[in-house]
Chain A
Amino acid sequence: MAKAKPTACDNRTARLRDLHERMVLIRRVETRLGELFAEDEIPGFIHLSIGQEATATGIGAALGTDDTISSTHRGHGHALAKGMDLGGFFLELFGKADGICAGRGGSMHVADFDIGMLGANGIVGAGLPIALGSALAHQVKGRKSLSAAFFGDGAMGEGVLHECLNLASIWSLPVLFVCENNGWGEFSPSDKMLATTPLKLAAAFDVPAKSVDGNDVEAVADLAGTLSDAIRAGKGPHLLECKTTRVLGHFAGDPQKYRDPAEIEALAKKDPILRAERKLRRAGISAGDLAATSERIDNAVEAAIMQARNGANADFASAAAAVYAGGA
């Protein structure tokens, strides 16, 4: 007997399962990073995106390998959503020789150019011109690709955002500006720091913009898909504001004394992963199924951590020889 043709509803559930799985992966990776950082196994500064997984995942779902992204200091989710290899990722976070950046960059500089991930960035707003330049390369070389620039609401105060909206607009560049609006710029609430909104700012530069519930992964993926299609069709840059939630502090270990504990507590209701799970359960996915997904991801993450722990340390001479390309 021939198999029943999958219905649109089945396809949607299958897609949500993929999106959910990617979010669980990001959550698990970052939860473990927080622990490893607290235990001093991972050095440096770590900025976690727990609570924001749906934006990275939803945008990532709309992009292909030939599309490029630039990311922020809170970039683990973007990297993983773009398809960064878990092994190379953890090796990098541990500062090991076989890390994706040879142990020279760390959390704030994960990059994988083979999949179009042009780097997390330690400077607020600095990824925006890089994504813009990548879009320029797509345009000049006649590629059908687009370039997505992730930035937080904190970057709204940076001049380069304004410059990039302007330049992308006048050159009609294939850029998707993605504002992850979590309401906080480091330790300060954005409503006290910013006199405008992402949508108003985009409008000032004639860049079409939409806002979405950034914790609804399906909504993000749908709208990112629509805007990406428009960009690929030559309609120039677009902006997508994803309203999301930063559950933890600016950096791992931040006690968040500047925040009302009740506000943080209320974020649990908006958790993007729990929301996706409720939808999946309603669509008939069993709790056991979801638990199995979670376990599979846990195992993959633990294997990557073990590999990273046992990896060789980055070698100083190799780093010293890499200051210039071509060794000169």
Chain B
Amino acid sequence: MAEMRFMQAINRALGDAMEADADVVLLGEDIAAPGGPFGVTRGLLDRFGESRVRDTPISEATIVGASVGAALSGLKPVVEIMFMDFMTVAMDAVVNQAAKAHFMFGSQRPVPMVIRTPHGGGLNAGPQHSQCLEAWFAHVPGLKVVCPSTAADAYGLMRAAIEDPNPVVFVENKSLYPIKEDFPDEPSHVAIGAATIARKGGDLTIVTYGAARKTATDAADILADDGVSAEILDLRGIQPWDEAAVLASLAKTHRLVVLHEAVEAFGAGAEIAARIADIGFDELDAPIVRVGAPFMPSPFGRGLEAEYIPNAERVVAAARRVLE
């Protein structure tokens, strides 16, 4: 087992998918010759040529809309939106076109496309380059949303997303890009919507995804020092999300904390908490507690951003509440 950076795992998944299927094409701003603003697509232009790896003008609405048209006409486009904040510019194409084409045209054609987009803070990128907007997309019927936290999952989810017949919003936390991790010699696909147990435990369950998995792990270490054993469930998929896995963990622990980097109010955690309060009510020994960013834009300054992003101490405090 070799080590690989998170971003290299995505690069490898894109390359392997393009080797496997000539219909896979890459579009995005600065992804071809420059290799992507974070280097995720480096080298793919040389391997696959300018017909299949295309630098686009700064036209988010059109490149996502064109991906819908291309997907409806036989290609499997993977389009990069440089920062998740810029998805706002392409919302019609995502919400009104990509998400609905299969349904509203009577299931005539699938829409096999992937939108790769980085979210998250930690780079002091400020209010318009740090947002975690995945809940918006999870709210739209017809879209799938995934957010991996490890290099192996990034690879496996990307392969699955490209092969999926539906539009998939593939969210990459940009603070994870440089992280080096063990990577299997023969990496495999990861089913969209399948959670994984990141750490076994018996006293409470922390449900999370993306970069917040690391925060959950730090919190679980602190709790372990106090003799509390936290189970961490990494959702990996947000739409659909693995309800059965959450219920199974809850059946063991009976206590639930939901953690994400996104703003807490109306976030993915709100849906998970509401749903589990309904279907998992009998298993719950305590209220479900959410941990997310406060209800404010992502701030720029070092101190401000550090305080804004949910940290292990906040997760520990939430754990103590559900353990009371």
Q: Which residues of A contact B (CB under 8 A)?
A: 68, 70, 92, 99-105, 109, 111-114, 118-119, 121-123, 126, 128-141, 147, 159-160, 163-164, 166-167, 170-171, 319, 322-326, 328
Complex CA gap A131/B62 in Å reads: 10
Report whether B68 and A129 are in contact in the complex, using a CB–CB cutoff of 8 Å: yes
B188 located at the interface, meaning its Cβ lies under 8 Å from any Cβ of chain A in the complex: no
Residues of B within 8 A of A105 (CB): 104-106
Q: Tell me, in angstroms, the Cα distance from A135 to B65 when the chains sit together.
A: 12
A322 CA / B23 CA spacing, docked (Å): 24
Complex interface bits, B87-118 against A, C-beta within 8 A gives 1, otherwise 0: 00000110011000111111111111000000
A131's partner among B69, B103, B240 (CB-CB below 8 A) is B69
Do A140 and B67 form a contact, CB below 8 Å, given A133-B77, A160-B62, A325-B166?
no
User: A129-B61, A166-B57 known; A109 and B104 CB under 8 Å?
Assistant: yes
- Return the contact of A322 from the options B66, B70, B107 (Cβ within 8 A): B107
Given contacts A123-B92, A130-B97, contact A138 B73 (CB under 8 A): yes
Can you list 28 A-B pairs, Cβ within 8 angstroms, ordered by A? A68-B73, A99-B106, A104-B105, A104-B106, A122-B96, A126-B97, A128-B65, A130-B69, A130-B72, A132-B65, A133-B68, A133-B70, A133-B77, A134-B69, A136-B66, A137-B70, A147-B69, A160-B62, A164-B62, A164-B66, A167-B56, A167-B59, A170-B57, A322-B106, A323-B102, A324-B102, A325-B110, A328-B240
Q: How far, in angstroms, from A147 to B164 measured CA to CA in the complex?
A: 26
The answer to whether A133 and B72 touch across the interface, beta carbons within 8 angstroms, is yes
Among B56, B59, B73, B102, contact of A325 (Cβ-Cβ < 8 Å): B102
Q: Does B187 contact A (CB under 8 A)?
A: no
List of B residues within 8 angstroms of A130 by Cβ:
65-66, 68-69, 72, 97
Main DSSP-derived SS at the A contact region: helix
- Is the C-beta of B75 less than 8 angstroms from some C-beta in chain A? yes
A-facing residues in B3-62 (Cβ within 8 Å): 23, 25, 51-52, 54, 56-57, 59, 61-62
A-B contact count (CB 8 A): 157
The residues of A that contact B141 with a CB separation of less than 8 Å are: 323
Most chain-B Cβ atoms within 10 A of its Cβ — which of A112, A123, A133, A137?
A: A133
Partner of A111, one of B51, B93, B108, B166: B108
Specify which of A100, A103, A139, A167 is in contact with B57 (CB 8 Å cutoff). Answer: A167
Q: Are B65 and A160 in contact (CB under 8 A)?
A: yes
Chain A: CB-nearest residue to B165:
A325
Counting chain A CB atoms within 10 Å of each CB, the highest count among B68, B77, B106 belongs to B106
The answer on a CB contact under 8 Å between B96 and A167 is no
Pair A322/B65 contact, Cβ less than 8 Å: no
Assuming the contacts A123-B92, A328-B166, asked whether A101 and B110 have C-beta atoms less than 8 A apart, the reply is: no
B184 at interface by CB-CB < 8 Å: no
Q: Which residue of A lies closest to B59 (CB)?
A: A163
Contacts of A134 in B (CB 8 A): 69-70, 72-73
Task: Check B73 against A163 for contact (C-beta < 8 Å).
Answer: no
B142 interface residue per 8 A CB criterion: yes
- Closest B residue, CB atoms, query A326: B165
Q: Is B127 an interface residue (CB 8 A)?
A: no
Of all chain A residues, the one with the shortest Cβ separation from B54 is A171
Instruction: Determine if A126 and B65 form an interchain contact, defined as CB atoms under 8 angstroms apart.
Output: yes
Q: A113-B108, A130-B69 are in contact. Are A136 and B101 (CB under 8 A)?
A: no
Nearest Cβ on chain A to B275's Cβ, whole angstroms: 18
Instruction: Find chain B residues with CB under 8 A from A101 CB.
Output: 104-106, 108
Contact at A322–B69, with CB atoms within 8 Å? no
Residues of A within 8 A of B97 (CB): 121, 123, 126, 130
Residue numbers in B under 8 Å from A119 (CB-CB): 101, 104-105
Name which of A111, A137, A171, A324 has the most chain B CB atoms within 10 A of its CB.
A324
- Which one, B65, B70, B71, B103, contacts A104 given CB within 8 A? B103
How long is the Cα–Cα vector from A293 to B313 in the complex, in angstroms? 80
A78 CB to closest chain B CB, in angstroms? 15
CB distance from A326 to the nearest CB of B (A): 5
**Chain B residues in 8 Å Cβ range of A326:** 110, 164-166
Residues of A within 8 A of B111 (CB): 325
Which 6 A-B pairs give the minimum distances between C-beta atoms?
A129-B65, A133-B69, A133-B66, A102-B106, A325-B110, A101-B106
Q: Which residues of B contact A111 (CB under 8 A)?
A: 105-106, 108
The answer for the CA separation of A134 and B109 in the assembled complex, in Å, is: 13
Residue B74 interfacial (CB < 8 Å): yes
- Tell whether, in the assembled complex, residue B73 and residue A137 are in contact, meaning their CB atoms are under 8 Å apart: yes
Q: Which residues of A contact B103 (CB under 8 A)?
A: 104, 319, 322-323
Indicate which residue in A114, A129, A138 contacts B93 across the interface (CB closer than 8 Å): A129
